[in-house]
Structure 1
């Protein structure tokens, strides 16, 4: 099963928002996905912005694979779970995206666990969001929306992700148990 079908089944609200936005070519410059399992949907949005085959990501074309591997030239990824997101990382994004596009399509920055940013980083990020540049897209994830500045939230398409179903949780648990046995 391709991820688009899984997303349609497990996150129907997100799927419909994306499908309508991309079909009408009225894509928000910033998305904020709120929930525990936001990594895959966030990458799906990034792939959809550059996919060469479909309205939404096909997961098989060269661009989709390069986003998954973090090897797309105009894609910057930060993970706030691994380390606090700081102002120099935001300044790096600003600097890189002030230059010409390497790929010729969208410039995308994906920041997971944005709530784990310093106040200085959030304020710098807010400046970028207040004056969006055409062709530059932000994708943020967070688990605790209360820790994200309201002014950042107001400049994003905020989508609450549905919690995983019991069936999905069981399947994930089985995979983890099998991996530990290997």
Structure 2
């Protein structure tokens, strides 16, 4: 969703909001911007809002776009003729894409006002497409602006990096993500770990709404509960619902990621650090932390991390996960 006001943007990216707002206020727009930050920091949404603020003719005293005029609505719907969005074609941004963009900018615009080009995954330029873009950056033309978006600033060619104003997007505050989930009436027992798992608020909402993902989180908790109960088997607990975990690689990775988060919570508790993900299960985590020593807990974590690397390769996943849980269970039930 595109932001509606500078205040909305400032709640998540205060420095970015003030900077871009001042650029419009002082009429000091740069012809090239580089929006850089990790996934989920709303760089594209900000680029579109910035574009809307540039194009709207009915801005208020705070320079907020009206969000109702023909200009604003067309930006919202990505149908404005002066707005161009370039995305990688396959794995790369190709020279032909940039040539097409240059051709568009060389034509007389059918409408007055600024023309804006947003390039997604700008680190995906190859040498020929980058060289083609450099020409437009050196001679941008009047009222033409480029916004390049990247999650990997180090992979952006230095020649491009040096010609754009770098705008850094900080990782979203996990408290904001947790608050948003709780506003959606997501239980805190899920909102807490999900908000620590991802800094992408849209991804967090998607996980929280996915019943299968919630079941996987419940499975992780059930496995660790079984480590404390001599009458329960963690391996059997896993096998009873393993079909859901193993049905898709992304779900398997999600399961393992949450096992890792829980194990890290146990280590944090051992280190007397109360900043844990599964806050609603702090009593169980405290009991688990007393069952084993720190050395073993770290060894178990290393085994999980090693499996998370191997999971992308052609391995026997059911066997690997069963063995992992068996090793963990023996550690917790036989230690000390």
Residues 39-64 of structure 1: CA distance to partner in whole angstroms, max 9, x if unpaired? 11111121122112213434333212
User: Which of 164, 176, 179 is the aligned partner of 2:206?
Assistant: 176
Kindly indicate whether residue 16 of structure 2 is the aligned counterpart of residue 43 of structure 1: no
Kindly indicate whether residue 170 of structure 2 is the aligned counterpart of residue 162 of structure 1: yes
Question: Which residue of the partner structure matches residue 10 of structure 1?
Answer: 12
Kindly indicate whether residue 134 of structure 2 is the aligned counterpart of residue 126 of structure 1: yes
Whole-Å Cα distance in 1 between the matches of residues 138 and 104 of structure 2?
Answer: 18
- Give the superposition deviation at 1:168: 3.5
- Give the superposition deviation at 1:169: 3.2
Whole-Å Cα distance in 1 between the matches of residues 68 and 91 of structure 2?
Answer: 31
SS in structure 1 at match of 2:9:
helix
Whole-Å Cα distance in 2 between the matches of residues 146 and 44 of structure 1?
Answer: 26
Whole-Å Cα distance in 2 between the matches of residues 102 and 83 of structure 1?
Answer: 33
- Give the superposition deviation at 1:3: 4.3
Whole-Å Cα distance in 2 between the matches of residues 99 and 177 of structure 1?
Answer: 45
Confirm or deny: 8 A CA contact 1:22 1:56 kept in the other structure: no
> Which has the larger Rg?
2
Segments of 5+ residues of structure 1 without an aligned counterpart are none
- Give the superposition deviation at 1:104: 0.7
**After TM superposition, what 4+ stretches of structure 1 lie above 6 angstroms from structure 2?**
none
Kindly indicate whether residue 108 of structure 2 is the aligned counterpart of residue 105 of structure 1: no
Whole-Å Cα distance in 2 between the matches of residues 14 and 174 of structure 1?
Answer: 23
Specify which structure has the higher proportion of helix.
Answer: 2
SS in structure 1 at match of 2:100:
helix
SS in structure 2 at match of 1:155:
coil
Whole-Å Cα distance in 1 between the matches of residues 91 and 77 of structure 2?
Answer: 20
Instruction: Give TM-score scaled by structure 1 length.
Output: 0.89
SS in structure 1 at match of 2:166:
strand
Whole-Å Cα distance in 2 between the matches of residues 158 and 81 of structure 1?
Answer: 24
Question: Which residue of the partner structure matches residue 33 of structure 2?
Answer: 31
Whole-Å Cα distance in 1 between the matches of residues 91 and 66 of structure 2?
Answer: 31
The CA RMSD measured in Å over matched residues stands at 2.0
- After superposition, the Cα gap between the structure-2 partners of 1:81 and 1:104, relative to the gap in structure 1 and judged at 3 Å, is same
Specify which structure has the higher proportion of strand.
Answer: 1
Confirm or deny: 8 A CA contact 1:4 1:57 kept in the other structure: no
Query: Relative contact order (alpha carbons < 8 A, sep ≥ 6): 1 or 2 greater?
Result: 1
